Structures are given as C-alpha cells and as structure tokens.
Structure 1
C-alpha cells in the first residue's frame, strides 16, 4: 500500500476524519461545539498499521482540512494534543479560544 497516495477525508455524516486503508480505517472522531470549534476526541489507527506513520499523516492532513475550512480546534485526544504541541508554531492559529495543550 502506498500511504502517500491515500488522502484523509472529512466524513461529516459520522463526525470523523478518515484515512481509508486497504482493509481498515484510521480515524479521528470529533464533535462540533456551540461556537463551531471542532473537539477532536479520539484517534484510532488499526493495530496492524501502528508504527508506520499512519497516525501522524492522519493528524497532519486533518489539521490541513480544518485550516482550509477556517475552523478552530480543541484537541481533547492525547495523540492530537501531543502532535499539535510538538508542532505548535504550525498549528497555534487553529486552537480555539481557551483550548489547552
């Protein structure tokens, strides 16, 4: 599988960002807050895909989609929060007012 050719999509019906892999899906669940911010709740990568960069790709592309849609985030998921914290200079502007890392 060529991970570079697969793109993350926003599945608005399921409120999750998805990376469709060959036989499984990596995802980030979210809820939409009252002020429109996306609460990024949970990231899930299939066990067989662990350690291959799937999670980082999923988060990076999810944040890119959110940025293009001019939305804000509140990262509740520890994986997403850690990623944003590590790359804060790139993603500071995406944080909703009051969001904590």
Structure 2
C-alpha cells in the first residue's frame, strides 16, 4: 500500500491507494507543532483491509519525524490512539 502526503498552507491529507481505490486521513495544522486529525475516509471496497490503521500509523510516524503533536478530533483516529498507548508521545487525547 502506498501512502502519499498532500499538504497545503492550512493542513493536508494522507492518501492511501490500494486496488484502484483511495482512502484518506485529513488534518488541519494549527501551529508548526500541532495538527488536528479531523477525518478518516475509507471506501467500502477497502474496509477490513487495515487501510485506516495504516493511515493512522503513518500520521503518527510523520508526527514523530516532524516533531509535532496530534490532537484527534476524528472518532476513528481517536479510538485507534486509545488502543495504542505507545503513540502517547505524539497524540494528545
């Protein structure tokens, strides 16, 4: 699965492509040190294939590399972060 980063001045999204379908996780950048993940969208054709989890892990890895924190407004990402205590270094619940 290939995950691409698309960024603009106010935020961006992580896009995963698999089997000809795209899933996304969108975020807003509130400061150089904080992003708010606000949406995860996975089409029905990709459900159950771990795409949402891969996007969440990618966001965490990007935050670690970039030195920023994540505030999870997205219900999916928030639920994932509650299951992964090891993400606590970058996720502010």
Fold agreement, TM-score > 0.5: yes
Structure 2 equivalent of residue 48 of structure 1: 45
User: When the two structures are superposed, what TM-score results if normalisation uses the length of structure 2?
Assistant: 0.86
Measure, in 2, the Cα distance between the counterparts of 1:91 and 1:81. 11
- Name whichever structure is richer in strand by fraction: 2
What are the ranges of 5 or more consecutive residues in structure 2 without an aligned counterpart? none
Q: How far, CA to CA, are the matches of 2:66 and 2:73 in structure 1? A: 20
Larger radius of gyration: 1
Equivalenced residue count is 91
Q: Runs of 5+ in structure 1 lacking a partner?
A: 1-5
- Across the aligned residues of Structure 1 and Structure 2, the Cα RMSD in angstroms comes to 1.7
Single out whichever of 13-22 and 57-66 deviates more from structure 2: 13-22
Give CA deviations for 1:7-51 in whole Å, capped at 9, x if unaligned: 322210371111122322111110011463110000001111101
3-state DSSP of counterpart to 1:94? coil
**Could you tell me the TM-score, scaled by structure 1's length?**
0.80
